[in-house]
Amino acid sequence: MKSYRHSIEMHTEEREQVLDITERVQEVCARSGIADGFALVCSQHTSSAVYISDNDPALTEDLRRVLAQIVPEGTVYAHDLADPKGNGHAHIRATLVGLSCSVPVTNGALELGVYQTIYYAEFDGQRTKTVLIKVIGE
């Protein structure tokens, strides 16, 4: 068994922003030299998520709108009583979307469906964050 670990930095200009990280994860996978196994792609934070969706950027706007409705920013969150920055909604949104995803690796590359794109969803941005990629296989 081989394993390869690499972190990539996430830079966001907006407080909420979704980044397509497919190519960067693919590069890490190629550099790992692992032909067969899987890649675990993890936000190292708790106010951002990693998920797979369609390659249409408009969908990230749709997701933002749905999340804004079910986990609104205006509401008072217990978490924010201790945190003047008020990012309670960001943590709950990350929990619902999920902090990480696992992708099969076959023939040295991520085996994604035709339209599958790996996204990093930042819910409390404007500072550098980290996504950890662990490729495991042989």
8 A C-beta contact, residue 94 and residue 123: yes
Query: Three-class SS of residue 87?
Result: coil
State how far the Cα of 125 lies from the Cα of 138, in Å rounded to an integer: 36
Report in angstroms how near the CB of residue 27 gets to a second copy at its nearest: 18
Binders of a second copy among residues 51 to 90 (CB under 8 A) are 51-54, 56, 58-59, 61-63, 66, 69-71, 77-79, 81-83, 88
* 6-35 footprint of a second copy as x/- string (CB under 8 A): ------------------------------
CA-wise closest residue to 101 among 110, 92, 114, 90 = 110
Q: Which residue has the tokens 């969908």?
A: 59
Q: Which residue has the tokens 């339209």?
A: 115
Provide the binding-site residues for a second copy, judged by CB under 8 A.
1, 3, 5, 36-38, 40, 42-47, 51-54, 56, 58-59, 61-63, 66, 69-71, 77-79, 81-83, 88, 91-92, 94-104, 106, 111-117, 130, 132, 134, 136-138
